[in-house]
Amino acid sequence: MAEHDLFEAEESALRAAADTHALDSLDARSYRDALGTLITQFRRQVREARRVIMHSDRQERELNILNARLTQLAAELDYKAKHDSLTGAYNRRAVIELAEAHLRDGALALIVLDIDNFKRINDEHGHPAGDAVIVELVARLRAVAPEPVEIGRVGGEEFTVVLPGMELEAAVALAERMRAQVASSPFDIPAGRIVTASFGVSFTPCGGMFTEAYGRADAALYEAKRRGRNSVAS
């Protein structure tokens, strides 16, 4: 079966016009008819070309919208993979990756903290109240955290603050400001309740291991707890 020529009508009109143009003895009507046929076919081709272009433009717009949506979904998935859904802080895996990346390039201070007597809050007021306390605590930490401080939630009521390039003394001072900010006034939920947290701080030079940095900060946190909670140790 012969392939159909999409431009068969236009080619036929063009050949007829060319044949007419080659003849010197035709009358004006013959030239007019040939020109009219050529005009008709040209107009049809223009309409078809315009339709194809409009269809192509519409497809391009739809593809652009789809690509933008896919880019947005990829960004959302990447965000969800790295952040805690309750607080928007980094999750445990992201904290480890961030700390390890910083340690490859320089020194790192690390703060580990958890909420004092958090189980009692959940037992007395319910888990929704406990979630509200966690959200407000992160907001209070952020209120005093300078850039490029990165806050992560690494457990139920346990958090880590990653401090690239910060010396131990400065990190301890920041932890103290955070401790004071948390305990400065009652939380919204449970209404009128003062919430406190204990803090452990460590310093690790460039090339160190995250596990070592975290282990020292965690040990300092338990020392802060041993001292009576609502304190900072290093």
- More confident: 101 or 74: 101
Domains in the chain: boundaries: 8-79, 92-233
Whether 11 is a known active-site residue: answer no
Catalytic residue among 48, 62, 157, 212: 157
Please report the pLDDT score of residue 231 as a whole number.
97
Pick the CATH number of 92-233 from 1.10.10.10, 3.50.30.30, 3.40.50.970, 3.30.70.270: 3.30.70.270
Q: What does the pLDDT look like over 194-215, one tens digit per residue?
A: 999 999 999 999 999 999 999 9
pTM of the model: 0.74
Given a cut of 60, is residue 3 above it in pLDDT? no
Average model confidence (pLDDT) across the chain = 89
Residue type, 212: E
Q: What does the pLDDT look like over 145-195, one tens digit per residue?
A: 988 789 999 999 999 999 999 999 999 999 999 999 999 999 999 888 999
